[in-house]
């Protein structure tokens, strides 16, 4: 009997310890952070099932690119943290972009899009890569022509935009993609912790969170995105940042603060993708931005906290895309905006052209 009682008490101690390791404090740090919302809806682009379904198909469809090779998912791969895990993305004609691809996960809850904040919403962002000659290299006219040539898409657009006289427009293409992106929210154990629910953070992750706050990281990485709602000067690399958009001297080397959600999976880091190790990124930011030199132990604890920001559940089922028809524009992977200026009989008419500079 005594042995059984001893075993029972031991089990209770273990269970209590386990519960404490996944504690949730309710409103602790609520002044700095907020849990992800259940939805990221928009009054200007209300979500409905047909639109989200359509947007998901368009997100994965490479026919929106001139080459027929690149889709939104190419640079924002949903299987690898919403990024391509490259320093900078590879676009049309193997052109190399100038900046690291930000994750598409949770982008809809951020205040601005792109490293320089040149788009305010995912709706504004969605059309940029399609039209960029370095990325998908299409045009509004070509994108609409392609979609209109595919009966399966025409039918889906009529369902998604049943009140529109002309459902298939470039604006509606981007709205549909954005509607799908608005569903790409990835709750984490940190959200459970903020909400005061069980299954929150382990004790070492809480220590890392305490350091994250006390060392000053939270001054920039805060809010629902743990970043993404402010701009900060970052004297790193050659990129002039937001200055390229505004032309204001005060915006030199100023970038949007990235979200840290799923940060373990969105390597390499920084706007130029020059740092591959999360520990190096943490120490570099602490040193440059805060003037703080972290010890190895402090760095390890902060990383434990950052890893708690990974999605706890994420299932993406690949869509089956409608087939092309005889009238669907054919892929043109060798197209270049300079090709039209080169005589057809020139040796440079196909290939050998200088890469286009990023916008």
Counting Cα atoms < 13 Å in the Cβ hemisphere of 129 gives: 31
Quick one: which of 57, 46, 91, 100 has its CA closest to 318? 57
What is the CATH topology of the domain spanning 49-185+317-341?
Answer: Cytochrome Bc1 Complex; Chain D, domain 2 (1.10.760)
All structural domains of the chain with their residue ranges:
19-38+186-307, 49-185+317-341
Asked if residue 268 lies in contact with residue 276, where contact means CB atoms within 8 angstroms, the answer is yes
Ranges of residues in the chain with a pLDDT under 70 are 1-27, 339-359
What is the rounded distance in angstroms from the CA atom of residue 255 to the CA atom of residue 233?
6
Of 69, 127, 114, 77, nearest to 94 by C-alpha is 69
Q: How far apart are CA 102 and CA 336, in angstroms?
A: 26
Three-state SS string over the chain comes to: CHHHHHHHHHHHHHHHHHHHHCECCCCCCCCCECCCCCCCCCCCCCCCHHHHHHHHHHHHCHHHCCCCCCCHHHHCCCCCCCCCCCCCCECHHHCECCCCCCCCCCHHHCCCECCCCCECCHHHHHHHHHHCCCCCCCCHHHHHHHHHCCHHHHHHHHHHCCCCCCCCCHHHHHHHHHHHHCCCCCCEHHHHHHCCCCCCECHHHHHHHHHHHHCCHHHCCCECCCCCCCEEECCCCCCCECHHHHCCHHHCCEEECCCCCCHHHCCCECCCCCECCHHHHHHHHHHHHHCCCCCHHHHHHHHHHHHCCCECCCCCCCCCCCCCCCCCCCCCCCCCCCHHHCCCCCCCCCCCCCCCCCC
CATH class of 19-38+186-307: mainly alpha
Residue 61: per-residue pLDDT:
98
Distances (CA, A) of 278 to 14, 31, 299, 306: 32, 26, 10, 9
State pTM to two decimals.
Answer: 0.88
Q: What is the pLDDT of residues 291-311, one digit of tens each?
A: 999 999 999 999 999 999 999
CA distances from 83 to 11, 185, 289, 300 (A): 43, 15, 25, 24
How confident is the model at residue 18, as a pLDDT? 42
Digit-coded pLDDT (tens) for 141-196: 999 999 999 999 999 999 999 999 999 999 999 999 999 999 999 999 999 999 99
Round the CA-based radius of gyration of the chain to a whole number and report it: 24
Who's near 288: CB < 8 A, 6+ residues apart?
234, 235, 236
**Which residue shows structure tokens 């409103």?**
27
Say yes or no: do domains 19-38+186-307 and 49-185+317-341 share a fold: yes
pLDDT of amino acid 339: 60
> Which member of 31, 123, 124, 135 is catalytic?
135
Q: Residue 10's Cα: distance from chain center in Å?
A: 45
Instruction: Please indicate whether residue 135 is annotated as part of the active site.
Output: yes
């Amino acid at each position: 009997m005594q042995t059984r009682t001893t075993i029972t008490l031991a089990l209770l101690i273990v269970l209590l310890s386990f519960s404490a390791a996944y504690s949730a404090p309710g409103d602790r740090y609520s002044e700095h952070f907020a849990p992800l919302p259940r939805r990221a809806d928009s009054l200007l682009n209300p979500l409905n099932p047909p639109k989200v379904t359509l947007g998901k198909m368009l997100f994965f469809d490479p026919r929106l690119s001139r080459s027929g090779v690149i889709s939104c998912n190419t640079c924002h791969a949903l299987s690898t943290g919403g990024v391509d895990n490259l320093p900078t993305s590879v676009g049309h004609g193997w052109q190399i972009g100038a900046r690291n691809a930000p994750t598409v996960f949770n982008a809809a809850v951020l205040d601005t899009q792109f490293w320089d904040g040149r788009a305010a919403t995912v709706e504004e962002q969605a059309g940029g890569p399609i039209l960029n000659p370095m990325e998908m290299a299409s045009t509004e006219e070509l994108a609409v022509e392609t979609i209109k040539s595919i009966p399966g898409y025409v039918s889906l657009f009529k369902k998604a935009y049943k009140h529109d006289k002309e459902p298939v427009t470039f604006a509606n293409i981007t709205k549909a993609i954005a509607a799908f992106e608005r569903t790409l929210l990835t709750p984490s154990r940190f959200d459970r912790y903020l909400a005061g629910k069980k299954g929150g953070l382990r004790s070492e992750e809480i220590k890392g969170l305490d350091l994250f706050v006390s060392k000053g990281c939270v001054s920039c990485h805060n809010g629902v995105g743990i970043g993404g709602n402010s701009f900060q000067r970052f004297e790193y690399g050659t990129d002039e940042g937001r200055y390229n958009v505004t032309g204001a001297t005060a915006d030199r080397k100023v970038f949007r603060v990235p979200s840290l959600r799923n940060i373990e999976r969105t390597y390499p880091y920084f706007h130029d993708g020059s740092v591959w190790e999360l520990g190096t990124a943490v120490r570099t930011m602490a040193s440059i931005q805060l003037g703080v030199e972290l010890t190895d132990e402090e760095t390890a604890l902060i990383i434990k906290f950052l890893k708690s920001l990974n999605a706890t559940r994420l299932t993406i089922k690949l869509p089956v895309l409608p087939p092309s028809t005889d009238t669907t524009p054919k892929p043109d992977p060798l197209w270049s905006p300079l090709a039209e200026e080169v005589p057809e009989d020139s040796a440079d008419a196909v290939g050998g052209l200088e890469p286009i500079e990023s916008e």
